[in-house]
A = this chain, B = another copy of it.
Amino acid sequence: MNGTLDLYIPTFEDVKAAHERIKPYVHRTPVLTSSFFNDLSGAELFFKCENFQKAGAFKARGASNAVFGLSDDVAAKGVATHSSGNHGQSLSYAAGQRGIKATVIMPNTAPEPKKAAVRGYGGDVLECEPSTAARERMLEDFVAKTGADFVHPYNDHRVIAGQGTCSRELHEEVGPLDAVVAPIGGGGMISGTCISMSALSPATKVYAAEPEQADDVYRSFHAGTMIEDDAPQTVADGLKVSLRPRTWHFVSTAVHDVLLVSEEEIIEAMYLTWQRMKIVIEPSSAVALAVILKNKQLFAGQRVGVIFTGGNVDLKKLPWI
């Protein structure tokens, strides 16, 4: 929580160091192709499948980098975060791998399976009232009391550096791309992607894909200043959070464009992916593909990387049923 540390903007050197550090704990996920989606889009698509990642999402990269970068003394006090989604599970997973305690603050309205997933990896869940103020107060109190290290879901240079390993692997696997499209919520994945692409393939354009119904990044990008969402509602539940200074830095300086899609377009892309590629992706993952299918003229004839960010979805509540 040191001020200087807080403002640090990670570099590609940090991504490389993160990659070495997390290798034993995360998967090098496969890059899949689909003749169906190539035909449908007119582009050559390379899907980086973080739905197959440990704990079911790319978040395991950033969380593992934070957890395994701690000194033994600090680690002994555990880690903590607030998250009702993939970051909470991933931090619990990473802490379990290191043999330390993770505590995840979640609103008492969070679905039971989300709490069970954190506990399944050995983490503790602390429930708070469902407000930002309540969540932040409980986290501050907990950190003050225990000395646990706070690992923010995305506004943390260690987390961003960890997420950057994903597009580094994509580049190693398929070579230079014309574009990479990744969904954006708080911006951790996009920030990491910008770092790796600007170092490895500066000509590659990085597109942020966002739901129309959670369009804070789109509005911020065009306003030139960071605007927060006010309790957005979208099927892409991983993308409801807002930018923070570190991720806004990358969005405002390195993202080529922000493209929006409707709820129907997200659900259709998700459905088609399950049906034709036979893989389970969560709605947030589908946002990137939906952007490509909506903007065919923009990507036609290009080699395009698509980040499928995760596969954690309630199989009993599918958005097309």
Interface residues on A, range: 10 to 19
Q: Is A318 on the interface with B (CB-CB < 8 A)?
A: yes
How many angstroms between the C-alpha atoms of A279 and B280 in the bound complex?
5
Per-residue CB contact flags for chain A residues 272-296 toward chain B (1 = under 8 Å, else 0) read: 0011011111000000000000000
With beta carbons under 8 angstroms apart, the residue of B277, B278, B281, B316 that contacts A321 is B316
How many angstroms between the C-alpha atoms of A52 and B32 in the bound complex?
10
Residues in B whose Cβ lies below 8 Å from that of A311: 278
How many angstroms between the C-alpha atoms of A277 and B53 in the bound complex?
10
How many angstroms between the C-alpha atoms of A271 and B30 in the bound complex?
22
Residues in B whose Cβ lies below 8 Å from that of A281: 278
Residue of B at shortest CB range from A30? B30
With beta carbons under 8 angstroms apart, the residue of B271, B280, B316, B320 that contacts A278 is B280
Q: Is A51 on the interface with B (CB-CB < 8 A)?
A: yes
Q: Is A56 on the interface with B (CB-CB < 8 A)?
A: yes
Looking at chain A's contact residues, the main secondary structure is loop
Q: Is A223 on the interface with B (CB-CB < 8 A)?
A: no
Residues in B whose Cβ lies below 8 Å from that of A280: 274-275, 278-280
Per-residue CB contact flags for chain A residues 289-321 toward chain B (1 = under 8 Å, else 0) read: 000000000000000000000010001101011
Residues in B whose Cβ lies below 8 Å from that of A274: 280, 315
Residue of B at shortest CB range from A273? B280
Residue of B at shortest CB range from A317? B321
Residues in B whose Cβ lies below 8 Å from that of A315: 271, 274-275, 318, 320
Residues in B whose Cβ lies below 8 Å from that of A277: 52
How many angstroms between the C-alpha atoms of A56 and B278 in the bound complex?
8
Residue of B at shortest CB range from A54? B35
Q: How near does chain B come to A28, taking the closest CB pair, in angstroms?
A: 14
Residues in B whose Cβ lies below 8 Å from that of A318: 315, 318, 321
Residues in B whose Cβ lies below 8 Å from that of A321: 316, 318, 321
Residue of B at shortest CB range from A50? B278
Known: A316-B320, A316-B321, A318-B315. A52 touches B271 (CB 8 A): no
Q: How near does chain B come to A318, taking the closest CB pair, in angstroms?
A: 7
Q: How near does chain B come to A53, taking the closest CB pair, in angstroms?
A: 9
How many angstroms between the C-alpha atoms of A281 and B280 in the bound complex?
10
How many angstroms between the C-alpha atoms of A271 and B280 in the bound complex?
11
Residues in B whose Cβ lies below 8 Å from that of A278: 51-52, 56, 279-281, 311
What would 11 more interface pairs be, CB under 8 Å, given A275-B315, A315-B318? A30-B30, A56-B278, A274-B280, A274-B315, A275-B280, A278-B279, A278-B311, A279-B279, A279-B280, A315-B320, A321-B321
14 contacts between A and B (CB under 8 A): A51-B278, A52-B277, A52-B278, A56-B278, A271-B315, A274-B280, A274-B315, A278-B279, A280-B280, A315-B318, A315-B320, A316-B320, A318-B318, A318-B321
A: residues with CB less than 8 A from B are 30, 51-52, 56, 271, 274-275, 277-281, 311, 315-316, 318, 320-321
| In the A-B complex, the 3 residue pairs with the closest CB atoms | A278-B311, A278-B280, A51-B278
